[in-house]
């Protein structure tokens, strides 16, 4: 197989667009960025060799606009489109449009996406392939009433889910019938704005399961392997916050079983490329198919750390007809953990905090990897996902990896917007996390512990620092004023604007 791509359009933004472009650049491929009007100043535009505007800020009118993106690909003479994750990455009609335009879509064939893309259809497929699934509906509901009736039958709590989506968007856990209507409305609305599809179904809510997923990879010659698991149970608002591999709850037998099932699931739909089979694992260590993400996963770096692979390169190779380079199981080496840095305020129910990043210092040193999509001076727009960076580490053992990630997070400085940096460190320091015994209920359960309890010594340091800072500004202002007018006064220090 000879490489045939020369130019790759990345139909995405933020860190994942940059991640994909990095591998392209290393392979000597030219890169094409697309951007919405809100993203003209984004880093991915500056790092690409070409850049085309694809529409106004709302994703539906830009990053989800198939025509605009295909137009850009044609103008740029791109051979291939990498969709990243989210946006059009799991949209089978876009895959067909690429096929029709003669542009390679870097991902599975439309048929595999059809089979897995709609959550409900995927569940039906899996049942047929003898893969265990979570009890629940096999198709989206047409009406609220229908959904209510089904929920009643399955029994609360239930989980409302976007049929066309993933990544925790358009999901709502509903405790009781009284909350059903508002959850239904919110889930549908988020599903629409995230995936352009408001179809919603529901599943029985398993009691505090673990979320464990298996990375699979298939080539076009019928080969499919798995690259071990990722533990993704640390979730807030149904979105992953910290991921790690190996999972602290898997043993080699369970890993092999889940890996086999994941490969079977992928093969049953004729899968090609990188995919992730997500499972829920309950307290008895039974596991259930949850969904298959038919694209690169946000948390793929932890798999890269313990395997030494470049998964984006594998995606590009497979899309150009290459066979998988090996078919034996790969034993993970050491341990890796990733933390997602969000522009949000954990103390305000994870309220997003878009705005300008005034200053940025990113951690470094041994076995620390930063995947960020921002820069100092960048204005984080309010239209898209609030994740600004992924910080991941590797170490020989899990305790060392925790210590390393905590150390790295301690070096991270983001000013101008609120982030979850401290919250992330609190998670790493929490006894349940340290023990490796945490399920999807962990973060909500531990919420107050993770937020509370300022250190009295640090509060004292803050007061001392603030008082001296006020004094220094007063001295500086007095010097300036006396130099200019020979009359010095001092007042509110904080209103003079920042001292630079």
Partner 1 sequence: MRTTRYYAKTKRGQEPETVDVSPLGGQRYAVTYLGAKHELESLVLPHGAVSLIIDGESYAVEFEEVGDEVRVLVKGQVTKVDVADERKMRMRAAGGSFTVEGKQTIAAPMPGKVVKVFVKVGDTVTEGQGIVVVEAMKMENELKSPKAGKVVEVAAVEGTAVENGAKLVVVE
Cβ 19 vs Cβ 392: under 8 Å = no
User: Measured from the CB atom, is 153 or 495 closer to partner 1?
Assistant: 495
User: Measured from the CB atom, is 267 or 422 closer to partner 1?
Assistant: 422
User: Measured from the CB atom, is 41 or 138 closer to partner 1?
Assistant: 41
413 contributes a contact to partner 1 by CB under 8 A? yes
Quote the radius of gyration of the chain (alpha carbons, Å). Answer: 24
Site for partner 1 in 439-458 (CB under 8 A): 454-455, 458
Which residues are catalytically annotated?
Answer: 295
DSSP readout, 350-410?
Answer: TEE--EE--EEE---STTEEEEE---TT-EE-TTS--EEEEEEEEESSHHHHHHHHHHHHH
Strands of 37-79, DSSP E: 50-55
Cβ 297 vs Cβ 151: under 8 Å = no
Q: How far is the CB of 31 from partner 1 (least distance, A)?
A: 9
Alpha carbon 44 to its chain's center: 17
Q: How far is the CB of 18 from a copy of itself (least distance, A)?
A: 7
162 contributes a contact to partner 1 by CB under 8 A? no
316 contributes a contact to partner 1 by CB under 8 A? no
Binding residues for partner 1, how many (CB under 8 A)? 77
Q: How far is the CB of 354 from partner 1 (least distance, A)?
A: 6
Cβ 216 vs Cβ 225: under 8 Å = yes
Site for a copy of itself in 382-441 (CB under 8 A): 394, 396, 400, 403-404, 406-407, 410-411
Site for a copy of itself in 98-157 (CB under 8 A): none
422 contributes a contact to partner 1 by CB under 8 A? yes
Backbone angles phi, psi at 236, to 5 degrees: -125, 135
The full length of the chain comes to 500
Q: How far is the CB of 49 from a copy of itself (least distance, A)?
A: 11
CB contact set of 336 (below 8 Å; sequence gap of 6+): 244, 245, 301, 302, 303, 305, 306, 392, 393, 394, 395, 401
Cis before 157 (ω within 30): yes
Q: How far is the CB of 278 from partner 1 (least distance, A)?
A: 20
379 contributes a contact to a copy of itself by CB under 8 A? no
Site for partner 1 in 358-387 (CB under 8 A): 358-359, 376-377, 382-386
Site for partner 1 in 327-346 (CB under 8 A): 343-345
353 contributes a contact to partner 1 by CB under 8 A? yes
Q: How far apart are CA 163 and CA 184, in angstroms?
A: 13
Q: How far apart are CA 128 and CA 78, in angstroms?
A: 39
String marking each residue 21-50 x if it binds a copy of itself according to CB under 8 A = -xx-xxxx------------------x---
Out of 23, 66, 120, 194, which residue is the one contacting partner 1 (CB under 8 A)? 194
Terminal-residue alpha carbon distance, the chain: 57
Q: How far apart are CA 396 and CA 473, in angstroms?
A: 48
355 contributes a contact to partner 1 by CB under 8 A? yes
String marking each residue 308-337 x if it binds a copy of itself according to CB under 8 A = x-x----------------------xx---
Beta strands 50-55; 80-82: pairing state: unpaired
Site for partner 1 in 456-485 (CB under 8 A): 458-472, 474-475
Is residue 211 classed exposed, middle or buried when 0-12, 13-18 and 19+ CB atoms within 10 A define those classes?
buried
Out of 359, 382, 437, 468, which residue is the one contacting a copy of itself (CB under 8 A)? 359
| Of residues 231, 211, 234, the one with CA closest to residue 289 | 211
491 contributes a contact to partner 1 by CB under 8 A? yes
User: What DSSP character marks residue 157?
Assistant: S
169 contributes a contact to partner 1 by CB under 8 A? yes
Site for partner 1 in 7-66 (CB under 8 A): 33, 40-41, 45-52
Alpha carbon 148 to its chain's center: 31
CA dihedral 132, 125, 175, 426 (to 10 degrees): 70
Backbone angles phi, psi at 112, to 5 degrees: -65, -35
User: Measured from the CB atom, is 151 or 414 closer to partner 1?
Assistant: 414
Q: How far is the CB of 26 from a copy of itself (least distance, A)?
A: 4
| Region binding partner 1 by CB under 8 A among candidate stretches 117-125, 249-257, 277-285, 412-420 | 412-420
132 contributes a contact to partner 1 by CB under 8 A? no
Residues forming contacts to a copy of itself in the complex (CB under 8 A) are 18-19, 22-23, 25-28, 47, 301, 304, 308, 310, 333-334, 359, 361-362, 364-372, 375-376, 394, 396, 400, 403-404, 406-407, 410-411
């Amino acid at each position: 197989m000879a490489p045939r791509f020369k130019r790759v359009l990345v139909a995405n933004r933020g860190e994942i667009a940059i991640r994909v472009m990095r591998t392209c650049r290393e392979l000597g491929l030219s890169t094409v960025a697309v951007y919405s009007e809100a993203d003209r100043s984004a880093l991915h535009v500056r790092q690409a060799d070409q850049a085309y505007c694809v529409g106004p800020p709302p994703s539906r009118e830009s990053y989800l606009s198939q025509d605009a993106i295909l137009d850009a690909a044609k103008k740029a003479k791109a051979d291939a489109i990498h969709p990243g994750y989210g946006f059009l990455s799991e949209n089978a009609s876009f895959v067909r449009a690429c096929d029709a335009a003669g542009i390679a879509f870097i991902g599975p064939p439309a048929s595999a996406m059809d089979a897995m893309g709609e959550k409900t259809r995927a569940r039906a497929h899996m049942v047929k392939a003898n893969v265990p699934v979570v009890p629940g509906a096999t198709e989206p509901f047409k009406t609220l009433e229908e959904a209510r009736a089904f929920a009643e039958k399955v029994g609360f709590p239930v989980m409302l889910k976007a049929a066309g989506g993933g990544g925790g968007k358009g999901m709502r856990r509903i405790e009781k019938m009284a909350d059903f209507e508002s959850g239904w409305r919110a889930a549908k609305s988020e599903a629409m704005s995230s995936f352009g599809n408001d179809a919603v179904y529901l599943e029985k809510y398993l009691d505090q399961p673990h979320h464990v997923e298996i990375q699979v990879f298939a080539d076009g010659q019928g080969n499919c392997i798995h690259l071990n698991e990722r533990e993704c149970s640390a979730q807030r608002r149904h979105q992953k916050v910290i991921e790690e591999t190996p999972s602290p709850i898997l043993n080699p037998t369970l890993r092999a079983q889940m890996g086999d099932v994941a490969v079977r699931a992928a093969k049953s739909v004729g899968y090609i490329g990188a995919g992730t089979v997500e499972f829920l694992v309950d307290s008895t260590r039974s596991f259930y198919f949850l969904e298959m993400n038919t694209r690169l996963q946000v948390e793929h770096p932890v798999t890269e750390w313990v395997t030494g692979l470049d998964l984006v390169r594998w995606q590009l190779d497979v899309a150009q007809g290459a066979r998988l380079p090996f078919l034996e199981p790969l034993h993970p080496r050491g341990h890796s953990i990733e933390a997602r840095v969000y522009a949000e305020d954990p103390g305000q129910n994870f309220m997003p905090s878009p705005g300008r990043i005034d200053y940025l210092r990113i951690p470094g040193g041994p076995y620390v990897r930063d995947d960020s999509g921002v820069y100092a001076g960048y204005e984080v727009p309010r239209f898209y996902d609030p994740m600004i960076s992924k910080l991941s580490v590797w170490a020989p053992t899990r305790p060392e990896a925790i210590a390393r990630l905590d150390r790295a997070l301690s070096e991270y400085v983001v000013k101008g917007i609120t982030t979850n940096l401290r919250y992330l460190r609190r998670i790493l320091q929490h006894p349940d996390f340290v023990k490796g015994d945490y399920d999807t209920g962990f973060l909500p359960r531990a919420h107050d512990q993770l937020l509370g309890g300022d250190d009295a010594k640090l509060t004292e340091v803050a007061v001392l620092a603030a008082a001296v800072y006020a004094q220094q500004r007063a001295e500086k202002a007095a010097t300036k004023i006396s130099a200019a007018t020979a009359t010095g006064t001092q007042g509110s220090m904080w209103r003079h604007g920042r001292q630079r």
